[in-house]
Structure 1
Amino acid sequence: MSATHASPQPLRVTVWNEGRDERLHAEVAARYPRGIHGAIAEGIAEHLGDGARLRTATLDEPEHGLTEQVLAGTDVLTWWGHLAHREVSDEVVERVRRRVLGGMGLIVLHSGHWSKIFTRLMGTTCTLRWRAAGERELVWTLAPGHPIAAGVPHPIVIEQQEMYGEFFDIPVPDELVFVSSFSGGEVFRSGCTFRRGHGRIFYFSPGDQDYPVYHHPDVRRVIANAVRWAAPDGFRGKPKLIHSEAGWFDAGGRA
């Protein structure tokens, strides 16, 4: 009789979006009729299928849709913000930060580079050079063996996109998966991984409210790959200062 193996539990993914551009600008609403969060969630579902259980949350929901209960039920959080970074509650940001340190994955997208949560986790300004001129972006894979780059063409061609360029004020990434070049001549570290506490973080710059980038099949694949990569193997809580008595190891203690 063959052994029976339990099916792996689906990843619990929360797709967070500020949700303001779609409300303020008819052209953005037409481009993303289900919101930017809807397009991102659709892309994740396309690639992960039954392997992910998705929910969305937006800024104007109570507690920005990121209550303690929601975060306790989230393995990976994706974050998109643009106009209202300052309106995000410091209490909610600290709640998310603690969850990341405890093991939750975080995928920060495009202008989320200036979000409170990303700047707090990076410890830098996260400023960069930018220009909105609808230029072609080529996303070059620097780490073809990385799980986030699986199945991704080299390069990804995005016909119209906002330019992001160096200098990008972030810490040196743990891994640099992608770098982008633009028709105006600039280059940018567009796909970077970091580890904070027990959590994995991926920053990916392609994606903008003024262009249909979150409908791009290769951009969707990268985000879905990143969600899978960032998923925790268990939550261990925020790392703590531990007083270690002599002999703890011989007594069978664990870090």
Structure 2
Amino acid sequence: MSSELSVTVWNEYRHERDSDEVAEVYPEGIHAVIAEGLEERGFDTRTATLDDPEHGLTEGVLADTDVLTWWGHRAHDEVSDHIVERVVERVREGMGLLVLHSAHYSKPFKSLMGTSCSLKWREADERERLWVVEPGHPIAAGVDEHIEIPRAEMYGERFDVPAPDDLVFTSWFEGGEVFRSGCCYTRGSGKIFYFRPGHETYPIYYRDDVCDVLANAVEWAAPAGGPEPFFGNADPLEELDD
């Protein structure tokens, strides 16, 4: 993994402070666990939360971020619209975005998708089997054919998002539902990966296989360093007849 990549791990950080059940699983916050897993895999990480000034996402922070990971659940509406616009602009400029679990309802993801991003859900401690359906994709590198999660919150189709550019994972749940759990998109020059696992009452982000997927996704979503596109009126490269 590349130690040169800068990752900002964002979390609304409300459940962990308000719920003893969640605090028992993530005493320092979900963001701390995700950041530690990525740091162990060689990335330069920082964290930011909803209640930080400018939600921790200042122009300087975002300019210095190769990939932003986003976890939110119950406070989506508290994210300021001008910060959302700032994030969306940076994604279109080339910053990678990893959208995790209930962040499917986050303002940046909904803005970038242009849809409701709604789905079915159920909390019943169900087994989830996360199948790799695109084994040649970089995000699936080194991952087993499936990941077995013994207790998970169910998300079910229809997932109201645009058809992904690539679908890396599909989930099956004990109750019978299926779900597109690993969706890749490109918006402007930026890459976006939605990854479903990660409910706040389950220790899913401590799992090595899940952290490996996130690390692969960071590598995939990071800016590729290609030429900056030019838009507008352009002079010809060859001489044209009058």
Q: Same fold (TM over 0.5)?
A: yes
Q: Which residue in the other structure is 1:195 paired with?
A: 186
The amino acid of 1:138's aligned partner reads R
2:3–2:44 Cα contact (<8 Å) kept: no
Matched, 1:21 2:46: no
1:244 deviates by: 3.2
Q: Does 1:60 align with 2:51?
A: yes
- Unmatched tracts of structure 1, length 5 or more: 1-7
Matched letter for residue 71 of structure 2: W
Q: Aligned to 2:54, what secondary structure does the other structure show? A: helix
What's the offset of the Cα at 1:158? 0.3
Give the conservation status (yes or no) of the 8 Å contact 1:199–1:232.
yes
The alignment of Structure 1 onto Structure 2 pairs a total of residues equal to 238
Name the Cα RMSD after superposition.
1.5
Say which SS state the counterpart of residue 234 (structure 1) adopts.
Answer: coil
* In the alignment, structure 1 residue 40 sits paired with structure 2 residue 34: yes
| Correspondence 1:242 to 2:232 | yes
Which secondary structure state, in structure 2, belongs to the residue aligned with residue 219 of structure 1?
A: helix
Judge conservation of contact 2:127–2:151 (CA < 8 Å) in 1. yes
Q: Which SS does the other structure have where 1:54 is aligned?
A: strand
Do 1:198 and 1:236's aligned partners in 2 also have CA atoms closer than 8 Å? no
Amino acid at match of 1:46: E
Post-superposition CA distance 1:78-100 (Å, at most 9, x none): 00000100000000000000000
Q: Distance in 2 between matches of 1:91 and 1:178?
A: 32
Q: Deviations over 1:54-112 (max 9, x none)?
A: 10000000000000010011000000000100000000000000000000000000000
TM-score by length of 2: 0.95
C-alpha distance after superposition, 1:132-172 (max 9, x if no partner): 11100000001111110011111100000000000000000
User: Residue type matched to 2:65 in 1?
Assistant: T
SS in 1 for 2:143: coil
Contact 2:182/2:193 (8 A) holds in 1: yes
Q: Which runs of 5+ in 2 are unaligned?
A: none
Aligned partner of 1:180 in structure 2 is 171
Q: Distance between the aligned counterparts of 2:207 and 2:45, measured in 1? A: 20
Deviation, structure 1 residue 234 = 3.0
Aligned to 2:223: 232
Match of 1:95 in 2: 86
Percent identity over the alignment? 61
TM-score w.r.t. length of structure 1: 0.90
Alignment of 1:218-229 (within 5 A): 218-229=209-220
